[in-house]
Amino acid sequence: MDTRELVDQVEASLAQAQHFLGIADYDTQSATAGAQRRALEGTPLPGMVAAHRDAAAEAYDALQRGSEHVNHAYAGVIALTKAPHLADENHDWVVGTLASVVEAMVAAGKATPSLEAGTTHLFAANNPAADPRRVSSQLVKARDELSLAIPHVSTAARVVDQAAARHSPDTQVGPAQPLARAQTPAADGRAHHSCHTTGRAQALKPVTELLSHS
């Protein structure tokens, strides 16, 4: 696979991740607010709880699907860190995208247990035969778990948004060629320095190690 194809693959994965993580972020916050409202009611109608349960379940599903696309993006960026793809011209884009992808992976991983637990509590609360006190307790637990998930889901969505918005370099003609980023006035004004590709690759090591230690 040549460099342009790898970049396109990463960008397509980021676009899909952006879509699903956006859904996860919205639905997690919606389910949390709903669980809070129902908990304050004391004896909520089961049908009303079901709406929040469904929102939480959709958030969990969207988070998992978004995470899969983030993982695909990670694999593509890692491939771009290797010869002959990595070059001075695309180094900033590769490093920046890799850092965002790793941060999104870590955040999604932290959100998953709480989001799953919150969804489980909402399923338990949506039981017409349950004691009202048990329903209220399950709603409070759901609210608390979902509240823990919110900042991590939001972080994953935010950093993927940033990565998807990052301008990718243009490619040179030909297979397996390094990327050549079009120059802009801002880019022309920056100080440039010479660096071998191997040195650039070494600069990526701390970022990749972040994931293994998370």
Query: What residue ranges do the domains of the chain occupy?
Result: 3-180+195-213
User: Measured between alpha carbons, how far is 68 from 17 in angstroms, rounded to an integer?
Assistant: 8
Q: Is the peptide bond before 151 cis (omega within 30 degrees of 0)?
A: no
For 3-180+195-213, the fitting CATH number among 1.20.1420, 1.10.3470, 3.40.50, 2.60.120 is: 1.20.1420
pLDDT at 168: 76
pLDDT at 205: 42
180: DSSP letter: E
Paired tokens of 17: 């991740």
The 3-state DSSP class for residue 170 equals strand
Mean pLDDT, the chain, whole residue set: 82
pLDDT at 44: 66
Which pTM value belongs to this model?
0.78
Which segments in the chain show pLDDT lower than 70?
42-46, 170-214
User: Measured between alpha carbons, how far is 107 from 104 in angstroms, rounded to an integer?
Assistant: 5
pLDDT at 170: 64
pLDDT at 46: 64
Burial environment of residue 188 by CB neighbours within 10 A (0 to 12, 13 to 18, 19 or more): exposed
Task: Estimate the crossing angle of helix 46-80 against helix 91-125, to 10 degrees.
Answer: 160
pLDDT at 41: 78
